[in-house]
Amino acid sequence: MSLFDWFENRRKSGSLSWERQERDISDGLWSKCSACEILVYTKELRANQMVCQECGHHEQVYSDERILQLIDAKTWIPLDEELYPSDPLQFYDRKAYSDRLAETQKKTGLVDAVQTGLGQIEGLPVALGVMDFRFMGGSMGSVVGEKLTRLIERATSKQYPVIIVCTSGGARMQEGMLSLMQMAKISGALEYHRAAGLLYIPILTHPTTGGVTASFAMLGDIIIAEPKATIGFAGRRVIEQTLREKLPNDFQTAEDLLHHGFVDIIIPRTELKKNLAQLISLHQPVSTTHSMVQWEAMALSST
Amino acid sequence: MSLFDWFENRRKSGSLSWERQERDISDGLWSKCSACEILVYTKELRANQMVCQECGHHEQVYSDERILQLIDAKTWIPLDEELYPSDPLQFYDRKAYSDRLAETQKKTGLVDAVQTGLGQIEGLPVALGVMDFRFMGGSMGSVVGEKLTRLIERATSKQYPVIIVCTSGGARMQEGMLSLMQMAKISGALEYHRAAGLLYIPILTHPTTGGVTASFAMLGDIIIAEPKATIGFAGRRVIEQTLREKLPNDFQTAEDLLHHGFVDIIIPRTELKKNLAQLISLHQPVSTTHSMVQWEAMALSST
Amino acid sequence: MVTTERKPLLLDFEKPLVDLEFRIDKIRELAKENGVDIGEQICQLETQAMQLRQGIFSNLSPSQKLQIARHPRRPSTLDYIKAISDTWIELHGDRGGSDDPALVGGIAKLAGRPVVMLGHQKGRDTKDNVARNFGMAAPGGYRKAMRLMEHANRFGMPILTFIDTPGAWAGVQAEHQGQGEAIAYNLREMFRLDVPIICTVIGEGGSGGALGIGVGDRLLMFEHAVYTVATPEACAAILWKDVSKAPQAAIALKITAQDLKSLGILNQILLEPPSGAHCDPLEAAKILKQGLLQNLEELTQMTSQQRRQIRYQKFRQIGVWNV
Amino acid sequence: MVTTERKPLLLDFEKPLVDLEFRIDKIRELAKENGVDIGEQICQLETQAMQLRQGIFSNLSPSQKLQIARHPRRPSTLDYIKAISDTWIELHGDRGGSDDPALVGGIAKLAGRPVVMLGHQKGRDTKDNVARNFGMAAPGGYRKAMRLMEHANRFGMPILTFIDTPGAWAGVQAEHQGQGEAIAYNLREMFRLDVPIICTVIGEGGSGGALGIGVGDRLLMFEHAVYTVATPEACAAILWKDVSKAPQAAIALKITAQDLKSLGILNQILLEPPSGAHCDPLEAAKILKQGLLQNLEELTQMTSQQRRQIRYQKFRQIGVWNV
Ligand SMILES: [Zn+2]
Ligand SMILES: [Zn+2]
C-alpha cells in the first residue's frame, strides 16, 4: 500500500458512517484491523499476508491461505485428505459431538483442524502441517494426531524437514483420552525424525496453547513465533482465577517466551518464507551416529 | 558415647576453668566443637568420624583420616605419590610460591592438596580421590589436576567407579592459567569415564567452592553433600559486596543446594561408607551403545 | 505406609457398608460380653457385608471412582515405592534450579534388581499437600524425572513411573519456567530410552501432567484409578458452562480403567483389594509389585530396539477416524 | 560495527601517539590552507608516529594489555560475527527459563559454510552494558551456549566461540540457578562433541566464565587479549591484600597471549592491526576470519574421533610438576 493509498483510506474511513463501515466490512471489501481499528481494503490486507500495514498486527490466517503464503506455486501435494473425524466416545455435552463436527465442516469447508502435505519453499522440499483455528479452536483430536504423525513419518523416510504452523486451544475433549494420547504419538514420530538427523521447525501463531504447547510446539530444533502471538500451557483465565489477580499484559506472549528462553526467534509473517528458506538451506541432513535408531525410523515410517 | 559419658563430659567441661580447657585442647586430649562449643574427648570425636555427637556438627576431616573412614582396611593403594608441585610461573606475591609450598608441605606432611588411590568400599573396588583443605585451602594446581586426571583415566580402563571427596577454595592462583585449565582437563577425563558407562560420585564437604564447584564437583551421576557444608561458585563475600546486603544464613549450604536441585542427597558422614557401598552395588557397568567413544577412552587412558 | 488399622475417611457410597461393618463389630462385642453364641448370625451378616461391598465396588460410577482415586488415604507413590522395594534411595533435583516435592524419584532395588522409580507425590494431609502442591508438578519436576530416567538409561535400570496428579501445575512461574517445554521434552525423549519403561496410574491421571511421565512400553492402571484428558470439573465448566455437570462429564470423558482398556490405551488393569486400595494399602502394594514384576519379566526378554518399537507402536495405533 | 571514523576513547599510553597524529593532521590542514608543500616534513612525522606506535604496542605491559582488552571500542562478539559472516541468524534462549543477553549465539554462514557462532557479549555503552551485564553470563547463558552447540553437533556445523568476559556472573540468582553446574556441564560435554570447535579470546578471558565456552580443538587469541585465572584486581586483593597491586598481579599471573603461548595453552596468536583492534575493527575482523578459516580447513580434514582426541590431548598435557 502506498502512502497515498493510505491517506486515501484514512480519509474514506473517516467519512464513512458506522453503518456504512459495517456494511462494507460484511461485504468483505473492507476489513477493520482488530488492533488499531483502521479500515483497509481486504485485498490489500491479504496481499500483505493479513498483517496490518498501519500497526503491524498479525490477523489470524487460515490454513489455505497460509499454504499459499509459504509454499511455492504448483508444488503443494496435500496428504491424507481422506481422513475424517469420527465420534468414538459418542460424546454429547450440550450438543452431540457428531453434530458439532458436521456443522463445523459445513461452515469452514475443512474436514478437521489440520492440513498436511508436501511442497517446496523457494525450491527446497518440506513436509508442512498447518493447523486451522476455525475448526473447533484448532483442537487436537485423532485426525489431527494421525495426519501430523503420518506427515512426520513421511518426512523421515523422504529426509525432508518438517514445518508445522501451530494454532490450537489444546486437546479435543470430545475425544477424551484418545485426544491426549495424540500428544505422545506425534512426539514419538518427531523422535524418529530427529534421530534421522532431520530439521523440525514449529511456527507458533496466535494462539498456541494447551496440549499442542506441551508437545510438538515446543520440540523444534528452532522455534519460531509470530509477533505478539499468545503461547502458553495453561489458560490465562485459569491462572488468574488461581492467583486472584490480573496478570501482566505481556504474559504468555511470543515476546515473553523469547525472554524466558522458549522461542528462538520472532519473525514477522511477511519475512517468514524467506527466513524459513534460509534456515532450511543452512541445515542439510548429516549422517548420524545413531544409525540403529535411524534404521528403525525407516522401518517404521509408512512410505 | 553413652548418655553417662555425655553427662560426665558436661560436668567436667563445666568445672574446667577457661585456662584449663585451653590447655587440655592444645594437649589434644580434648576438643571443643566449633558449633556447639561442648568439650569432648578427641578420641571419641575421632571414633565418631569428627561428627559432634551433641549437635551433629561435621568438623573438617583431613585426607588421611577420610581414607581410613571410607576404605576397607588393607585395601588402599595410593597412586602417583611421586608428583610434587613446582613453581612454573616463578610466582611471588608477598612471599614466593616455592617457599609457600615448602612451608605447607612441612606443616601438613602432604605433598599437595589431593591424595588419590585405589581401594575397596565394603569389598567393592573404587578409585578414590580425597582433597585436603589444609594444603593451601585445597586449591587446585597442576598436581591436583594431574593426579585426579590420572585417577579417572585409570578408573576408566579398570572399569571402576570414581569417588572424589571435594573440598577447595578454588583455583591455585599461583599457577595462573595452568590452574584454570585443570578444570577442563579433569572434566575431559570424566567425559571418557562417563562414555564408558561408569559411575562417578563426588562428595561435597565443607567448603567446596570456585573452580572445583564449576567442574568435577557438579559432574556426578549422583552428587552427595555433607550436612551444612558450604558449596558455591562465587565467594559469599564477593556477592555480598556486589549486593551491599547480607545474604540469608542458609545461602550456599548443602541444604540450599539440595533445595535448588544441585545435590542429590545429603548424607551424614557416619552413614557415608554404608550408603556409598549401596549406591555402587546398585550401579554395575553396562555395555554402552557409544562403543566408539568407549574405545577411544580405553586407548587414551594410561593403564 | 498407611496401614489397615487406620480408619479411612468416609466416602458417601461407602457409608452403608461401613455402617454394616460397625454393626457387626458391635454385635460381636455384645455377644462376647454376654457369653452368647451368635456365630451363625454373624456369618450371615458378614456374607451380607461382602455382597454389599461387591455391589458397591463393582458398580462404581466414574465420579465415584474419581472420589476413590483422590481419596486422601489412597496409597501414594512413596507409599508404594517403600512397600515394594528392598532398598530405596530418593534422589533430588533437576540440576537446573529446583527440587520439586510434587514429583519424587530415586533408585530402588525391586526383587533384587536395580530400578529407577518416580512419580507424582500428593500430600497425606493439608500441610503436606501444600508442600507437595497437591501432586501438581512444576517444570522442574518433569526435568527431575527426565534426569532420573536418563540416569536409569545410562546404567541399564528399568524405569517404573507412578501417575497420580490432577494435572501439571498451572501458574505464572510454571509458565515462565516452561511447563509446556518440560512435558513436551519428556514425551519425545521417553521414546528414545533403551531400558524398559512401565507406567502405572495409581490414582488420578490428570491430562498432560500425567502423560509427562506416562510414555512407556506398558501402561498399567489400578481398577479404581482414573485417567482423563481434563478434569471432569474443567470439562464441565468449558463444555457445559456449568461445573455442577462434572459427574456427566466424568461419564462422557471415559476416564475409568475399564473404558481405557477397551479404547486400547491400557495394557493391564490391576484389580484392587475388595474395598479399594485405600482400605488395604499393603495388599494393593502386593498387587502392584506382582504386576510390575510380571511385565518386567516380559520386557527384559526383549532387545532395546524391540522395546522402543512396541513403545512407539503402542501410541502409534491410538486414535479413531473415518476414511 | 564500530568503524575507524569514530575516535576511540583514549588510554593513557596511547596519548603521545594520538597527540602526534593530531599534530600531523593540524600541520597538513594548515599547509593545505596556505598552499605550502610540506610533504617531506609530514613524511618524517609519519615515520616518527609509526615508530612511536610500534614502540608502544610491542612493549605493552600486562596491565596495559588488560586496558586494551577491556577497551569500550574494542570489537565485541556480535561486531566480529556480523563482520565475518555472509548470513547471521541469532537464536535465543536456554529452553529452561531464560535468554541471557550476556552470551549470544546463532547460526551463520562463514565463507559459504554453515557454522554455529557464540560468545560473551559486552555492551557498547553504559546502558547497553547494564543490559548485557558487562558480559558476565548467567547460568542460563552457558546453557544457551550448550544448546546451540548441541544443535551444531546434530547438524554437523563447526562451532566457533568468542571469549570476552571479566568472569561468570556472581550473584544470588546465579548461585541458585547453578553457575557452577552450568559451567561444569559445558566443560565435560564440549569434549564429547563431534564437530570442530575453535575458541578465540577476542578481549578479556576471565576465569571459569571464559573456560565455560573455551574447550576446543584450537584456542586462538588476539595479540592484545588477556586470559586469566582470576582478574588481577581480585588476585591482588586476595594474595597481596591490596587491590592497588593489580598491575603486579597482572604480571605475576602470566595473562598475555605471548605468556600463554609459551605455557602451551594457546595454539595461535592473531596479530592485531598496528594500533590494536579497537583502532581498526574491520582489519581485526579480517585477521580473525583468516585465522578461523585456516584452522577450520585443517580440522575438517580430520575425523570426529581424531578431533576429540586432539581436543582431549590439548588439555591433557597442560600442567607442570616435579617428580
Ligand atoms: Zn492495525
Ligand atoms: Zn557440637
Domain residue ranges of chain D, discontinuous segments joined by +: 12-59, 64-316
Per-residue pLDDT at B22:
66
Amino acid found at C155: F
Per-residue pLDDT at C83:
98
CA distance D264 to chain B (A): 9
| B-interface mutation test, from C85, C87, C92, most B Cβ less than 10 A away | C92
Measured distance CA(A277)–CA(D287) in Å, rounded:
31
* C-alpha cell at position B227: 550436612
Per-residue pLDDT at C126:
87
Cβ pair A231, A204 in contact under 8 A: yes
Per-residue pLDDT at D31:
85
- Portion 283-302 of B in contact with C at CB < 8 A: 283-284, 286, 289
User: H or E segment at A113?
Assistant: none
Which range is least confidently modeled, A191-205, A287-301, C192-206, D31-45? A287-301
User: H or E segment at B259?
Assistant: helix B254-259
The CATH topology of domain C64-316 is 2-enoyl-CoA Hydratase; Chain A, domain 1 (3.90.226)
Per-residue pLDDT at B210:
96
User: H or E segment at A42?
Assistant: helix A42-47
Q: Work out the percent of chain D whose per-residue pLDDT is above 70.
A: 98
Chain C residues close to A154, C-beta within 8 Å: none
Residues of chain C with pLDDT under 50: 1-8
Query: Can you say whether the dihedral through the CA atoms of B141, B144, B147, B149 is positive or negative?
Result: negative
DSSP result, D108-138: EEETTEEEEEEEE---SSHHHHHHTGGG---
B18 — pLDDT class (breaks 50, 70, 90)? low
* Buried-exposed string A20-55: b where 16+ CB fall within 10 A, e elsewhere: eeeebeeeeebbbbeeeebbbbbeebbeebbbbbbe
Is the pLDDT at B297 greater than 50, yes or no? no
| C-interface mutation test, from B262, B267, B271, most C Cβ less than 10 A away | B262
For the segment A44-88, what is each residue's pLDDT rounded down to a tens digit?
Answer: 999 999 999 999 999 999 999 999 999 999 999 999 999 999 999
Phi, psi (deg, nearest 5) at residue A164: -125, 120
For the segment B201-213, what is each residue's pLDDT rounded down to a tens digit?
Answer: 999 999 999 999 9
DSSP result, A122-190: TTEEEEEEEE-TTTGGG-B-HHHHHHHHHHHHHHHHHT--EEEEEEE-SB-GGGHHHHHHHHHHHHHHH
3-class SS of residue C321:
strand
Cβ pair A66, A74 in contact under 8 A: no
Is the pLDDT at A127 greater than 70, yes or no? yes
Chain B contact present for C300, CB below 8 A = no
Per-residue pLDDT at D25:
87
User: Which is nearest to A197 in space by CA: A224, A173, A221, A178?
Assistant: A221
Phi, psi (deg, nearest 5) at residue D107: -105, 135
For the segment A240-253, what is each residue's pLDDT rounded down to a tens digit?
Answer: 887 777 888 899 99
Q: What is the mean pLDDT of residues D99-107?
A: 98
User: H or E segment at B58?
Assistant: none
Could you tell me the pTM of the whole model?
0.92
Per-residue pLDDT at B296:
47
For the segment B270-289, what is each residue's pLDDT rounded down to a tens digit?
Answer: 999 999 999 999 998 655 44
Chain A contact present for C323, CB below 8 A = yes
Burial grade of A278 (CB within 10 A; 0-12, 13-18, 19 or more): middle
Residue C32: how many other CB atoms lie within 10 Å: 10
Burial grade of C112 (CB within 10 A; 0-12, 13-18, 19 or more): exposed
Per-residue pLDDT at B266:
98
Mean pLDDT of chain A: 89
Measured distance CA(C66)–CA(C60) in Å, rounded:
10
Per-residue pLDDT at A160:
97
Per-residue pLDDT at B240:
84
Is the pLDDT at B258 greater than 60, yes or no? yes
Most confident by average pLDDT, B15-24, D44-53, D115-124: D115-124
Cβ pair C58, C277 in contact under 8 A: no
Q: How far is CA B46 from CA B62, B65, B278, in A?
A: 11, 9, 24
Partner-chain contact C170 A195, CB within 8 Å = no
Measured distance CA(C272)–CA(C232) in Å, rounded:
23
Measured distance CA(D87)–CA(D110) in Å, rounded:
8
Measured distance CA(A96)–CA(A103) in Å, rounded:
11
Neighbouring residues of C90: CB distance < 8 A, sequence distance ≥ 6? B265, C104, C105, C106
Cβ pair B217, D180 in contact under 8 A: yes
Chain C contact present for B263, CB below 8 A = yes
Pairing of strands B114-121, B124-131: antiparallel
Phi, psi (deg, nearest 5) at residue D299: -70, -35
Q: How far is CA B124 from CA B65, B102, B157, B204, C89, in A?
A: 20, 37, 16, 21, 19
Higher pLDDT, A292 or D253: D253
Helices (H), D39-122: 39-57, 62-69, 77-84
End-to-end distance of chain B based on CA atoms, in angstroms? 45
CA distance C146 to chain B (A): 13
Measured distance CA(C203)–CA(C223) in Å, rounded:
10
Is the pLDDT at A1 greater than 80, yes or no? no
Higher pLDDT, C320 or A11: C320
Measured distance CA(A190)–CA(D5) in Å, rounded:
51
Per-residue pLDDT at A242:
77
Cβ pair D107, D89 in contact under 8 A: yes
A33 appears as a binding residue in the annotation: yes
Domain residue ranges of chain B, discontinuous segments joined by +: 1-59, 61-284
Per-residue pLDDT at B10:
47
Cβ pair B33, B19 in contact under 8 A: no
Chain B residues close to D184, C-beta within 8 Å: 183, 187, 213-219
DSSP result, B167-220: EE-SB-GGGHHHHHHHHHHHHHHHHHHHHTT--EEEEEEEEEEHHHHTTGGG--
Reported ipTM: 0.92
Per-residue pLDDT at A210:
96
Phi, psi (deg, nearest 5) at residue B89: -95, 0
Measured distance CA(B84)–CA(C16) in Å, rounded:
81
For the segment B238-249, what is each residue's pLDDT rounded down to a tens digit?
Answer: 888 877 778 888
HSE (side-chain half, CA atoms, 13 Å) at A162: 34
Q: What is the mean pLDDT of residues A86-113?
A: 96
Q: What is the mean pLDDT of residues B68-78?
A: 98
For the segment D3-43, what is each residue's pLDDT rounded down to a tens digit?
Answer: 434 444 788 888 888 888 888 888 888 888 888 888 888 88
Residue D48: how many other CB atoms lie within 10 Å: 12
Chain C residues close to A260, C-beta within 8 Å: 176-178
Per-residue pLDDT at A303:
39
Cβ pair A186, A209 in contact under 8 A: no
Higher pLDDT, B141 or C275: B141
Query: Can you say whether the dihedral through the CA atoms of A250, A251, A254, A260 is positive or negative?
Result: positive
User: Which is nearest to D158 in space by CA: D17, D315, D298?
Assistant: D298
Cβ pair C318, A182 in contact under 8 A: yes
| A-interface mutation test, from C134, C188, C244, most A Cβ less than 10 A away | C188
B33 appears as a binding residue in the annotation: yes
Is the pLDDT at A6 greater than 50, yes or no? no
Instruction: Give strand ranges (E) for D70-217.
Output: 87-91, 103-110, 113-120, 159-165, 197-206
**Longest alpha-carbon distance in chain D:** 75
For the segment D247-274, what is each residue's pLDDT rounded down to a tens digit?
Answer: 999 999 999 999 999 999 999 999 999 9
Find the B85 Cα to ligand 1 centroid distance in Å. 71
B20 — pLDDT class (breaks 50, 70, 90)? low
Mean pLDDT of chain B: 89
Choose among C238, C260, C323: nearest Cβ to A83: C323
Partner-chain contact A185 C315, CB within 8 Å = yes
The CATH topology of domain A61-284 is 2-enoyl-CoA Hydratase; Chain A, domain 1 (3.90.226)
Partners of chain D (3+ Cβ pairs below 8 A): A, B, C
Mean pLDDT of chain D: 93
Phi, psi (deg, nearest 5) at residue B144: -60, -45
User: Which is nearest to D306 in space by CA: D200, D217, D187?
Assistant: D217
User: Which is nearest to B149 in space by CA: D142, D139, D187?
Assistant: D187
Which range is least confidently modeled, A23-37, B195-209, D78-92, D132-146? A23-37
Per-residue pLDDT at A298:
43
Per-residue pLDDT at C1:
42
DSSP result, C248-270: HHHHHTT-BHHHHHHTT--SEEE
User: H or E segment at A30?
Assistant: strand A30-32
What residues are neighbours of ligand 1 (ion), with CB under 5 Å? A 33, 35-36, 52, 54-55, 57
CA distance C306 to chain D (A): 25
